[in-house]
Amino acid sequence: MKPFRHINVPGVAEAVDYLNKFPGSSRLIAGGTDLLGVLKDDILPAYPELLINIKAIPGLDYLREDENGLSIGALVKLAFLARSPLVREKYKVLADAARSVGTPQLRNMATVGGNLGQETRCWYYRYPHGIGGRIQCQRKGSGPCLAVGGDNRYHVIMGGKGCFAACPSDLATALAALEGSIKTEGAGGGRIISIGEFFHPLGNALKAGEMIVELQVPPLPAGSRQHWLKYTLREPVDFAVVSVAVLTVLEAGICREARIALGAVAPGPLRALQAEQFLKGKEPIPEVLQEAAVLAVQGAKPLSKNGYKVEIARVLVLRALEASFAGHK
Amino acid sequence: MNNRKFTQVGRSVPRVDGPAKVKGEAIYTGDMVLPGMAYGRIKRSPYAHALIKKIDYSKALALPGVLAVITGEEAPNKWGIVPQTANEVALAVGKVRFWGEGVAAVAALDEETAEAALELIEVEYEPLPVLLDPFESMRRAGEVRIHEDKPDNILHQAEQVFGDPDKAFAECTYVLEKEFRTSYVNHAFLEPHAALASYDVQSGKLQLWSSTQVPHYLHRQLSIVLEMPMSKIRVTVPAVGGGFGGKGEASSADFCAALLSRKIGRPVRVTFERSEVFATNKGRHPCYMKMKIGLDKDGYIQAVDFENTLDGGAYAGWGMVVMFYTASMIHLPYKVPNARARVRRVFTNKPTCGAMRGLGGVQPRFAMECLLDEMAEMIGISPYELKMKNAIESGYRSVSNLHVPHAEYKKCLQTAVEKSGYLEKHGKLPFGKGIGLAGGYYISGTAYTLYQAYKPHTTVLIRVDTEGGVTVHCAAADIGQGCNTVMAQMAAEALGVHYEDVHVVSGDTELGTFDLGSFASRLTYATGAAILEAAEEINQKLKEVAAGMVGCRADQLEIKDRRFTSIFEPRKTIEWEKVVDVYTNTVGTLTGIGHFSPPRLKGIDLTRGVRVQGANIGHSPTFGFSCQIWEVDVDLETGKIRAHKVTEAGDCGQPVNPMSVDGQVEGSIMFALGQALYEEMKLDADGRMLNPSLHDYKVPTAMELPEIDTTIVESYDPTAPFGVKESGEGPVQPTIPAIVNAIYDAIGVRFTELPITPEKVLRALKEKKEKEKV
Ligand SMILES: Cc1cc2nc3c(=O)[nH]c(=O)nc-3n(C[C@H](O)[C@H](O)[C@H](O)COP(=O)(O)OP(=O)(O)OC[C@H]3O[C@@H](n4cnc5c(N)ncnc54)[C@H](O)[C@@H]3O)c2cc1C
């Protein structure tokens, strides 16, 4: 690994300050579980001179619930989220998504902010520099996306543009079903970005010098149920081929609300709005759910090698809906 | 020796190397730091096939902290584990033949500087067409040649005929022919290659610590590449984090560390990244196979025809041996009176394939066990019945002159079938659930020296004195398989002492006596034989002294449990230590030496009595057998396969350490499960590997671990030392076909290409549905 300077910052203000003093040549480091891999494989053309360690910022690992919903400090560890009785009880998809990440060791280090900030897992993007040189691509600023004409079995089936890498974050999928958002701090002050707006085909919405300080989940619809499913090639230590988070509200046997978020099929978590709309006002009988699942993947444009992801996504949506509605009884 | 009398052999003692490894205290090569040590890194090619026009490393050399840069030109001697096909070099000379091949190496004060220096090395390439498919490689050989001396892009090819297969097929009632294809897989051992070299400029001696399975062959190759006599080189093996064949020949880490150290006169360590392990590979050969089996009306095998094209990658490696093994593996564990094998190993611009656990067996086993499963269905009998009918027994001699002194294969089949309830379940489980059976075998104790020599393959020296007790010297390499533990057990058994009394000095070409290395499941058998011979010498000398001490004849004494006792007058007894004390006081330190050379059988077609080229490869003094029955669940909607239970029964001869045998069997099962369902290295059209990491290369983890039920069947090979066979490679053989057969039982699809991923399952189910509609 190439050398870099590593500094600890006492607070968010200082972190933002350093980010702005070293634009383009500094990176935040939280748990380091993603960043260190990125640096070791030297996949990016620019190598940071400075790592700004935010891990030790006091008070940024809170979990709070009030009338505005749930707030999660950026430094909350995935292990904590997965274990928290509050989250497991009420925000089940978040806890389940967190628990599905990596291994216990990783979850003990990995933070929620880092999970949203992590780099994609596209194997062209991640190709190690040491074996004949890194791969330049759209996402890195220049060059074509090699996945389009290459081996794209794990790439997106919807929403790619210029880059077809899938969003790796499981938390993002869960947050999308909960209609969560991300609170940031930057040189010009803070802002709130809804999770649906956070990921772009070529990266994320963070501006230079901006950092995530909190995840927010608004109050849940009364009586709602949730379900999380993640499909991987092997059980642990694997990113999703497809993940699904759903939230449902059932009143007198009729679906009042349904939210379906798909993960790893697009550059960001994707809400299946058409399917959601279709479900509203209907009785969730098998035929309805099947139809909804078909609608959820309608419009998918698989690449040459990832058509199977469409089928898996459909089945996962169906199963998640079945489980969520079953939870109402 | 009768196995009922054993006290040290057959004991489940924990591995000697276990505690240190579990506590993280074992010292691997990459942990070692010597005073003044420099760090070496290798510059790798960005082309899979290209001429090297120019290398300019002046800027790298000028970087502060850089001590030396070397290129292939400085050490152009070709090396190779099989000397007849040696065609590899320490670093590419004039041409690169796979993506990531080393073109230069740097030694610097620290790893960061070495890496920075790599960036400053300028290499000019002239790209050549890249051949990634073996058939394309043969087709385009006239236009693109990977090695100058191989105009067809074929390393070697052979045809072996035994009996009259064509006539036999013509007379068969049932004939089935199919194509099978295996994938490009890597061993994924935990510890990447590492080598630490220390060259002493005064004495001109080189010491190399290396994560290797084959200290001897590494020693030889170093001598060739460095042009130094072997007597000036010492190879030492620290703790090794697995090899599985991938450390069964030298690696460029070894050569670069040695060359750099000699150049700068200070120690140099080269430790590979995981990506470099993948980039240099030496994993299993992808095989394109066609197999045809003919049965008579009663279901007896009359002929097997086997065609195999092995995708070898860029260099020779173990390739020729692997190729001949695949040809040999059709002769067992069933009686095959007529056979033909046409095999060829082809060069492509990929990281080279080599030896991998169960080498040469896994691919043809997949084909044969799946074909027989299908043929049982053709005949309308259980695959179990078909396999029992054809299974070989003790004393069998194949038409290729392969002799099996002892076999409990039928017992393996029976045991696994009974314990799993196979007959009650097979063909009767609901759609999506299945059970499958396969058998297998592997060689044991063998290894032709890969270069012309008649020296014994193993020598064991046992030293007995009052200070150290018993010390066993042998340059065998414990790479985690446990040979240091079983050698101690066997020596203790042979000397009548306890396992705890024995020290083993191994893994060092200077301190240990000669041994070929850890491969081909040879060590337990080979060192066992040498230990028996060495112990005999010691026992004889000690008995003569003991006889005088207790007052009886030496040949009336038996040594057991640390005592010499008269077999006729049990009162006449004396402690072993006292006898050793008297012996050393009067004569001095006591030593015994033993050797082992495997018997050499000719590879001949017994029906005609003619020599068949390469047919002796695959012969071995004895063979291990096993059967596995797998149960799988297939998710019909997502294509996911869960292989959730395996019932295994194995004939490993007398188990020296049953706990170790269980470990080998369980490890083998996980190892082959990966190849069946998960693992595959993927290259893009330019030959660049897309998944050179343990994240993207999907090795199954503990969560994929099935329920494992193993049985060591009662077995004792009377022709083998302590009755032993092997257990490290045989148990990988049945796994893949058993899983594939179970998937067929579950969903009615016979897969012939690996790995069987959800994608493939979904596609197959869809095709099946469409076919059924028509
Ligand atoms: C083997 C393995 C398996 C994994 N499996 C999964 C999986 O299944 N699902 C999944 O979702 N993830 C998975 N991950 C990714 C893992 O969840 C993330 O690595 C982790 O959550 C990142 O958190 P961190 O604190 O370690 O981030 P770091 O590695 O410290 O940072 C990651 C990135 O985010 C940036 N960053 C960190 N904090 C902030 C912040 N507050 N504001 C803005 N930017 C920030 C950093 O600059 C860096 O670019 C896996 C990782 C590994 C290594």
CA separation (Å) from B113 to A1, B577, B752? 10, 57, 49
CA A203 to ligand 1 centroid distance, Å: 14
In a mutational test of the pocket of ligand 1, which residue from A76, A106, A183 has the highest number of ligand atoms less than 8 Å from its CB? A106
From B118, B696, B757, residue closest to A123, measured CB to CB: B696
Report helix, strand or coil for B551: coil
Domains and CATH numbers, chain B: 3-24+455-596 (3.30.365.10), 32-128+190-242+247-280 (3.90.1170.50), 287-448+604-773 (3.30.365.10)
Q: How does B657-693 read in b/e, with b if 16+ C-beta sit within 10 Å?
A: bbebbbbbbbbbbbbbbbbbbbbbbbbbebbbbbbbb
| Residues ≥6 apart with Cβ < 8 Å to B609 | none
Give the gap in angstroms from C-alpha B760 to the nearest C-alpha of chain A.
9
Prediction pTM value: 0.97
- pLDDT, one tens digit per residue, over A58-79 is 999 999 999 999 999 999 999 9
- Residue B2: pLDDT band by 50, 70, 90 thresholds? very low
Residue B174: name the closest of B340, B297, B36 by CA: B297
- Sort out which chain B residues have CB atoms less than 8 A from A302's CB and list them: none
Q: Whose CA is nearest to atom 9 of ligand 1?
A: A101
The terminus-to-terminus CA distance of chain A in angstroms comes to: 54
Q: Give 10-residue mean pLDDT values along chain A (329 residues).
A: 95 97 96 97 95 97 97 98 97 98 97 98 98 96 94 97 97 98 95 98 95 98 97 94 98 97 98 98 98 97 97 98 94
Domains and CATH numbers, chain A: 63-117+167-217 (3.30.465.10), 225-326 (3.30.390.50)
> In the predicted model, what is the mean pLDDT of residues B623-651?
98
* Cα–Cα distance, B237 to A66 (Å, whole number): 62
Helical segments of B207-300, H only:
215-226, 252-264, 274-280
Query: Kind of pairing, strands B301-313 and B338-347?
Result: parallel
Helical segments of B140-251, H only:
165-170, 215-226
Judge contact between B615 and B589, C-beta under 8 A. no
* Cα–Cα distance, B30 to B25 (Å, whole number): 13
- pLDDT, one tens digit per residue, over B470-513 is 999 999 999 999 999 999 999 999 999 999 999 999 999 999 99
* Cα–Cα distance, B166 to B450 (Å, whole number): 34
- pLDDT, one tens digit per residue, over B193-222 is 999 999 999 999 999 999 999 999 999 999
- Sort out which chain A residues have CB atoms less than 8 A from B701's CB and list them: 234-237
List residues of A whose CB lies inside 8 A of any B CB: 1-3, 41, 121, 123-124, 126-128, 130-133, 146, 150-151, 153, 231, 233-238, 241, 308, 311-312, 315-316
pLDDT the model gives residue B449: 78
- Partnered with residue B611 across adjacent β-strands are B604
Residue A231: name the closest of A222, A241, A221, A223 by CA: A241
pLDDT the model gives residue B762: 97
Atom of ligand 1 nearest to the CA of A112: 21
- pLDDT, one tens digit per residue, over B341-382 is 999 999 999 999 999 999 999 999 999 999 999 999 999 999
Place of tokens 């998918």: A300
Q: Which residues line ligand 1 (CB under 6 A)?
A: A 27-35, 37, 74, 78, 100-102, 106, 109-111, 113-115, 117-118, 168-171, 206, 211-212, 237, 239; B 695
Q: Does the pLDDT of residue B554 top 90, yes or no? A: yes
Residue B43: name the closest of B109, B127, B100 by CA: B100
- Sort out which chain A residues have CB atoms less than 8 A from B757's CB and list them: 233
CA A226 to ligand 1 centroid distance, Å: 24
Task: Enter the tokens of residue B195.
Answer: 């080598």
Determine whether B6 is exposed, middle or buried from the number of CB atoms within 10 Å of its CB (0-12, 13-18, 19+).
Answer: middle
Q: Does the pLDDT of residue B679 top 60, yes or no? A: yes
What DSSP state is assigned to residue B243? -
Task: Enter the tokens of residue B680.
Answer: 């595959």
CA A89 to ligand 1 centroid distance, Å: 25
Substitution target from A4, A105, A120, A131 for chain B, most B beta carbons within 10 A: A131
Judge contact between B729 and B358, C-beta under 8 A. yes
Determine whether A208 is exposed, middle or buried from the number of CB atoms within 10 Å of its CB (0-12, 13-18, 19+).
Answer: exposed
Neighbours of B412 (CB within 10 A): 29
Q: Whose CA is nearest to atom 7 of ligand 1?
A: A101
Place of tokens 């057969």: B741
In a mutational test of the pocket of ligand 1, which residue from A27, A38, A44, A101 has the highest number of ligand atoms less than 8 Å from its CB? A101
Place of tokens 């780099």: A119
Report helix, strand or coil for B153: coil
Contact A315 B638 (CB under 8 A): yes
Helix (DSSP H) and strand (DSSP E) numbers for chain B: 19, 30
Please report how many Cα atoms fall inside a 13 Å half-sphere around the Cα of residue B310, on the Cβ side: 39
| Residues ≥6 apart with Cβ < 8 Å to B724 | B444, B524, B525, B528, B652, B653, B654, B655, B656, B717
Residue B187 corresponds to which amino acid? H
CA A46 to ligand 1 centroid distance, Å: 19
Q: To the nearest whole percent, how much of chain B has pLDDT over 70? A: 99
Contact B684 A153 (CB under 8 A): no
Please report how many Cα atoms fall inside a 13 Å half-sphere around the Cα of residue B500, on the Cβ side: 2
Task: Enter the tokens of residue A83.
Answer: 């274990």
CA A116 to ligand 1 centroid distance, Å: 7
**Overall residue count recorded for chain A in this entry:** 329
The mean of the pLDDT values for chain B is: 96
* Cα–Cα distance, B445 to B219 (Å, whole number): 22
CA A62 to ligand 1 centroid distance, Å: 18
Q: Over chain A, what HEC string results?
A: CCCCEEEECCCHHHHHHHHHHCCCCEEEECCCCCHHHHHHHCCCCCCCCEEEECCCCCCCCCEEEECCEEEEECCCEHHHHHHCHHHHHHCHHHHHHHHCCCCHHHHHHCEHHHHHHCCCCCCCCCCCCCCCCCCCCHHHCCCCCHHHHCCCCCCCCCCCECECCCCCCHHHHHHHHCCCEEEEECCCCCEEEEHHHHEECCEECCCCCCEEEEEEECCCCCCCEEEEEEECCCCCCCCCCEEEEEEEEEECCEEEEEEEEEECCCCCCEECHHHHHHHCCCCCCHHHHHHHHHHHCCCCCCCCCCHHHHHHHHHHHHHHHHHHHHCCC
* Cα–Cα distance, B574 to A30 (Å, whole number): 69
CA A35 to ligand 1 centroid distance, Å: 7
pLDDT the model gives residue B4: 60
Task: Enter the tokens of residue B357.
Answer: 């656990």
* Cα–Cα distance, B301 to B148 (Å, whole number): 43
> In the predicted model, what is the mean pLDDT of residues B247-276?
98
Query: Kind of pairing, strands A211-217 and A69-73?
Result: antiparallel
- Sort out which chain A residues have CB atoms less than 8 A from B703's CB and list them: 234-236
- pLDDT, one tens digit per residue, over B78-90 is 999 999 999 999 9
Q: Does the pLDDT of residue B450 top 90, yes or no? A: no
DSSP for B556-607, written as a single string: GEEEETTEEEESS-TT-EEEHHHHHHHHHHHT-SEEEEEEE-------EETT
**CB pairs < 8 Å spanning A and B:** 90
- pLDDT, one tens digit per residue, over B634-646 is 999 999 999 999 9
| Residues ≥6 apart with Cβ < 8 Å to B87 | B78, B80, B147, B149, B315, B316
From B99, B691, B703, residue closest to A123, measured CB to CB: B691
Please report how many Cα atoms fall inside a 13 Å half-sphere around the Cα of residue A73, on the Cβ side: 18
Bond prior to B430 in cis (omega within 30° of 0): no
Give the gap in angstroms from C-alpha B482 to the nearest C-alpha of chain A.
29
- Sort out which chain B residues have CB atoms less than 8 A from A311's CB and list them: 637-638, 762
CA A29 to ligand 1 centroid distance, Å: 9
Give the gap in angstroms from C-alpha B762 to the nearest C-alpha of chain A.
7
- Sort out which chain A residues have CB atoms less than 8 A from B704's CB and list them: 234-235
List residues of B whose CB lies inside 8 A of any A CB: 44-47, 99-100, 112, 115-116, 118, 273, 275-276, 279, 637-640, 678, 682, 684-685, 688-693, 695-696, 698-704, 757-759, 762-763
DSSP for B616-653, written as a single string: TBTB-SEEEEEEEEEEEEE-TTT--EEEEEEEEEEE-B
- Partnered with residue A251 across adjacent β-strands are A254
The interface predicted TM-score (ipTM) is: 0.96
- Dihedral angle, C-alpha B273, B277, B279, B282, nearest 10 °: 170
Consecutive H or E run containing B614: none
Give the gap in angstroms from C-alpha B255 to the nearest C-alpha of chain A.
19
Place of tokens 């040549």: A25
Give the gap in angstroms from C-alpha A70 to the nearest C-alpha of chain B.
33
